[in-house]
Structure 1
Amino acid sequence: MNIYLYGPPASGKSTIGVRLAERTGLAFVDLDEIIERTAQQSIPQIFEQEGERGFRQREREALRRVAAASNQVVALGGGALLDLSNRKLCEQSGTVFCLQASYGTLLQRLGFDQNQRPLLAEDAAAQLEKLLSQRYPHYLSFEHQVEVDHRLVDEIVWEIQLKVGMFWVRGMGSGYAVRILRGGRTRLGQFLRQQGLKGSVFVLSDENVAAHYLADIEQSLQEDGFQSHSMVLPPGEQTKTIQTVQSIWSEMIRARVDRTSCLVALGGGVIGDMGGFAAATYMRGIPWVVLPTTLLAMADASLGGKTGVDLPQGKNLVGAFHAPQFVLADPETLVTLPQREWQAGMAEILKAGVIGDPLLFELCEDGEMVVQKNLSEILTRAMGVKVRIIEEDPFERGRRAALNFGHTVAHAIETLSQYQILHGFAVAMGMVAEAQLAYQIGLAPLEVKERLEGALAKLGLPTRLPKRFSPSDILQAMQSDKKKQLGELRFALPERIGYVQVGLRLSSEKQMFEALRACQEEMEPV
């Protein structure tokens, strides 16, 4: 798929296009530059010698060549899609975004523009006004409109990324692509080819997911000429052990997986964590890709390259950072997700809103019906929050700790329940307790906790700590948390909706004890 940027002269197509290409991992193409290279003349020279008709013919030919390729951000000329055949070609090969700017903004930019524009060569102000009056209905006819007036380039790029569901995660090695694409699972083989992967493919999944989607994966791999071997595990957190990973290693040896091979993790967070860890350690590291099939895995677990397994003493105590080749999230796989798993995933999405996107939080506050109606935007926003944070801090040495909001308490609850409480439900409880802690130490107003409780309740998530686990039990279980530094627990606590402070230490355990007790005493047991 290509992303085409269109709009009037000086609307910023090339400037925005270059940044968008960087943020999505796509190639950048300026159609006018292609025309100039092919003709070995500048645009003004082409107009002078061949007229506008000659230029438009060259433009059509150049666009046909560009549209035959994919994975590009293409900056189009301001009149390129007046030709209906050009427009049809772009809409069939990608998505067109029309950039809109006011006459005043465009005129001001033209005053600083070094490029010569033949259609605006004489009396730019009058010619621009005439051009806009003629083309205004044409520009408005495109589905995707992007206002650029008084906005930063990064803000505009972010808006387009949210609409196309494309990100490029930098900071771990050469980076990797994140794609949200309906039906993407049926194109897995194509994506692997695009990444230059040629060896065999080892597919890891669990019984629940494999029953629905493994056949699609195997068919896609076969169609693109890949040899594959699949391993299906029992579902659930109890499977996430070093003993299971040993069985994965043994099966990989039996399947003759080598360093040219690739591991595909098809499933939720458990499969992603184990599959990534197996790939990180087998033959000292082989490529792997993630196809998350749960809301929780899409919004959180599949992103960031953190892999690992549980020990009896706690979650994720053994693991490694190992970036995938790419993450491919197919929203169609959410259709078969059980309601409780859907609710569990919404806890992580709500967390993303608390730590980095107030608008995302507001959408979730309106309850399940609004969430389902806007699921594509909500999922993309949640994934975008995590992408931005892990780019800033890929190896969790600072800001990435924001992602741990609610998780210090949550992991303790999971451990005490022997993983009978779903991760997302534990995160919901943990967020309430840690928001209470933020209020008690004067970091956040009580409104933060109250809004969080209201949003969780509307999504069918718990807002109360299990009475069967005393505050002392939870505190004791928290001592095994991997986020401890120099023997001290560190917290990520909300200051307001949309921002958390990280690396916070408590002056005494009593503060956490009181927060846990307050949550239990205020509410009924789960």
Structure 2
Amino acid sequence: MELSVGGEYGIVIDAVGAEQFAWLRERAYAGWVLIMDEETERYCLPRIERYLGSTPLVKIVVPAGERHKHLDTCKFIWEEMFRGGVGRRWCCLNLGGGVIGDMGGFAAGTFKRGIDFVQIPTTLLSQVDASVGGKLGIDFYEVKNSIGLFANPQAVWVDAGFLGTLPEREIRSGYAEIIKHALIADEQQWSELRDIKDIRGLDWPAVIERSVDIKRQVVLKDPFERGIRKALNFGHTIGHAVESYFLHREDRLLHGEAIAIGMITESWLSHETGDLSAAALDDIRDYCLRVYGHQHVPEASFPVLLDLMRQDKKNDTEAINFTFLEKPGEAVVNKTATADMITRSLAYYNSLGS
């Protein structure tokens, strides 16, 4: 299956193999850069290594994890590119999860004013969300993705076979983006997801295709996030702040776990300030708690979280910008909430664990 993003690039949902690499060779690049982290080098590289052939290749391995998604790691990538003789007619292959896709794409998009790149996402999170849409970047000043750019890949190769290399917790993390896509744009899919008791038995290629297509359609309408594309940030204003806060703690949260907190709190805000029904809020709350459990957010962190939200790149003014739900399947962008309301939403979430 291949989905086109406005003729700019294709998203191939299939096993990565000889066909994709033959397509890449036909483009006659001078060489390839392969960016991966320690985990994907160990678990994912063997799946594609036999297709690399004799094309000049520079392999760059970086530490795994969101805490390494920063300028120093990019500096290392750029230095390795220079040492390897990488030029403008090279192509960068980003083999990994959302961190590698975001950071590898950012490094490629800025190296010598930009070289081509291909996304090969290996986590569920990156397959349904991070690899699609051309948003690239790194974390800076403790704010997620605050330095970056828009640049489209030459292709995205989505291979559900890579999911077999992941622990169950990582699968659940990526599943949060599937929930989000359904809540903002596909009421029927949300109804289907609510009936799923165990996500381990899902037909992942079919689920991934449906979720990717939701994001693809939103991106086509608003490639530079000036309007409706902000709907994709549902759950992320609070969720990103929570993720950043927990990043350097021993009880660190994965992205999807933090976004689940964001979806519950932002659904509560949608109900308190807008049209989302109490029944819909209850459904979203109960489902997210069933999949992700409950993680207490220390009350002492609330001022820190608010400061992180104020730094969010989606804000156009001093107000904190949100996407709210009118009902499952329908989102409304450019909504705001007061600091008091946001604090109350976090208190509401904490009360669910008592």
TM range (shorter): over 0.9
CA gap 1:368/1:247 in 2 versus in 1, 3 angstroms = farther
List aligned pairs for 1:79-94, cutoff 5 A. none
Tell me the distance in 1 between the aligned counterparts of 2:28 and 2:290: 44
Tell me the distance in 2 between the aligned counterparts of 1:257 and 1:239: 23
RMSD: 1.7
List aligned pairs for 1:486-497, cutoff 5 A. 486-497=317-328
CA gap 1:303/1:442 in 2 versus in 1, 3 angstroms = same
Per the alignment, in what secondary structure is the counterpart of residue 505 of structure 1?
strand
Partner residue of 2:309? 478
Residue 410 of structure 1: how far off its partner (Å): 0.9
Of residues 474-483 and 377-386 in structure 1, the stretch that sits farther from structure 2 once superposed is: 474-483
| 2, 26, 33: which one aligns with 1:202 | 33
| 4, 7, 10: which one aligns with 1:177 | 10
Of residues 351-360 and 238-247 in structure 1, the stretch that sits farther from structure 2 once superposed is: 351-360
Identity of aligned residues (%): 34
**CA-to-partner distance for each residue in 1:186-231, whole Å, 9 max, x for gaps?**
544123135x242200000011111122134332120xx4221211
Tell me the distance in 1 between the aligned counterparts of 2:19 and 2:82: 27
CA gap 1:175/1:302 in 2 versus in 1, 3 angstroms = same
Partner residue of 2:129? 300
Q: Is the 8 A contact 1:205 1:265 kept in 2?
A: yes
Q: Is the 8 A contact 2:34 2:60 kept in 1?
A: yes
**Does the alignment pair 1:317 with 2:146?**
yes
Tell me the distance in 2 between the aligned counterparts of 1:518 and 1:472: 16
Tell me the distance in 2 between the aligned counterparts of 1:311 and 1:469: 23
Tell me the distance in 2 between the aligned counterparts of 1:373 and 1:244: 35
Per the alignment, in what secondary structure is the counterpart of residue 92 of structure 2?
strand
- Please, what TM-score do these two structures have when normalized by structure 2? 0.94
Tell me the distance in 2 between the aligned counterparts of 1:176 and 1:395: 16
**Does the alignment pair 1:398 with 2:227?**
yes
| 342, 354, 372: which one aligns with 2:201 | 372
Tell me the distance in 2 between the aligned counterparts of 1:434 and 1:501: 12
Tell me the distance in 2 between the aligned counterparts of 1:370 and 1:415: 26
Residue 465 of structure 1: how far off its partner (Å): 4.7
CA gap 1:344/1:261 in 2 versus in 1, 3 angstroms = same
Larger radius of gyration: 1
Tell me the distance in 1 between the aligned counterparts of 2:13 and 2:317: 39
**CA-to-partner distance for each residue in 1:247-304, whole Å, 9 max, x for gaps?**
0000011111111100000000000011000011001000000000000000110011
List alignment gaps of at least 5 residues for structure 1: 1-163
Letter in 2 for 1:380: E
Deviation >6 Å, runs of 4+? none
**Does the alignment pair 1:264 with 2:71?**
no
Tell me the distance in 1 between the aligned counterparts of 2:63 and 2:17: 21
Partner residue of 1:141? none
Partner residue of 1:286? 115
Letter in 2 for 1:273: D
Tell me the distance in 2 between the aligned counterparts of 1:249 and 1:492: 36
Tell me the distance in 2 between the aligned counterparts of 1:470 and 1:253: 42
Partner residue of 1:512? 342
Residue 366 of structure 1: how far off its partner (Å): 2.1
Residue 470 of structure 1: how far off its partner (Å): 4.0
Per the alignment, in what secondary structure is the counterpart of residue 341 of structure 1?
helix
List alignment gaps of at least 5 residues for structure 2: none
